[in-house]
Amino acid sequence: LLQLFRPLDVLGWVYRTIRQGLIDMAQMFRLIDTPVEVADLPGAPALLVRRPTVVFDNVRFGYDPDREILHGLSFEVPAGAQVAIVGPSGAGKSTIGRLLFRFYDPSSGRILIDGQDIRHVTQASLRQRIGIVPQDSVLFNDTIGYNIAYGRSGASDAEVMDAARGAAIDRFIAGLPQGLDTEVGERGLKLSGGEKQRVAIARTLLKDPPILLLDEATSALDTRTEQAILATLRNVSADRTSIAIAHRLSTIADADIINVLHEGRLEEQGTHAQLLRHDGLYADMWQRQAAEAIEPVLAAE
């Protein structure tokens, strides 16, 4: 009897394997479908930017249909203002950046730049108007000049050096054996975290976008480097609409508006002083981070 059932067993295994294969295929197609979701509308015009106000209007979004991450988020970034997004880990801060860059579309609600729904304009024009200074800048295995010029093809050496000056990395470059032609990256000169970030800032300056998205590094730079980079970023952000996604509050305390996000909802909003007076989540986070900054000093004593 056992002999008789063995082939059936094998058949069952084949059936299960094929079925699993179909499920995997379905998942694969869901992935492949993703870019289609954010395709340009036929005949979509380019984004027109004059004074770029950025508006999140009742935005709902989840990477997975059954797990919503942003639950009807609304906030505004006035033209030329510096707005920060803070909140505990997993609150949805980086997701806001990904939606603004249109890697995904909200499931409902709208994101407007200068009054235009970003779903109605070409992605190329949208991404051209937003400069990102990312957490961890990736450098190409090429010259430092190429790495900066990548911000705008066809830029002259003089323009590249101008951008380098704005990012305060010009003197570092001038001290390199081959200046702008020095090879950097895995196969060339290894740059420090701070230097890499300055290359990214120079690249962004060359691109000269009216909107800036600053995704703050989680890996801490030493305090002096961080303060110097912050000063540079402040100069770069002046006159631009900027959104800073921050993990450490010390870096955004002087923002015009601070949005405190908690579990995909806007929990508090205001300036640093207003939020401290409010004595809520922000004030809590501020005190905790201040205590963490003092701890190593106490431990050393």
The 3-state DSSP composition of the chain as helix, strand, coil percent (nearest 5) reads: 45, 20, 35
In the complex, what is the shortest distance from the CB of residue 3 to ligand ATP, in angstroms, rounded to a whole number? 48
Which of 263, 260, 266, 264 is closest to 282 using CA atoms?
260
Write phi, then psi, for 263 (nearest 5 degrees): 45, 45
Closer to ligand ATP at the Cβ: 69 or 130? 69
Closer to ligand ATP at the Cβ: 82 or 95? 95
How buried is 10 (Cβ within 10 angstroms: 0-12 exposed, 13-18 middle, 19+ buried)? exposed
How far is Cα 108 from Cα 58, in angstroms, rounded to an integer? Answer: 7
Coil vs helix vs strand at 112: strand
How far is Cα 76 from Cα 294, in angstroms, rounded to an integer? Answer: 35
Please say whether the beta carbons of 61 and 95 come within 8 A: yes
How far is Cα 151 from Cα 127, in angstroms, rounded to an integer? Answer: 12
In the complex, what is the shortest distance from the CB of residue 211 to ligand ATP, in angstroms, rounded to a whole number? 19
Closer to ligand ATP at the Cβ: 26 or 31? 31
In the complex, what is the shortest distance from the CB of residue 250 to ligand ATP, in angstroms, rounded to a whole number? 15
In the complex, what is the shortest distance from the CB of residue 12 to ligand ATP, in angstroms, rounded to a whole number? 33
Please report, as ranges, the residues that interact with ligand ATP according to CB under 6 A. 63, 69, 87, 89-95, 247
Closer to ligand ATP at the Cβ: 12 or 90? 90
In the complex, what is the shortest distance from the CB of residue 95 to ligand ATP, in angstroms, rounded to a whole number? 3
CB neighbours of 34 closer than 8 A, spacing ≥ 6? 104
Closer to ligand ATP at the Cβ: 13 or 63? 63
Closer to ligand ATP at the Cβ: 93 or 240? 93
In the complex, what is the shortest distance from the CB of residue 242 to ligand ATP, in angstroms, rounded to a whole number? 17
CB neighbours of 284 closer than 8 A, spacing ≥ 6? none
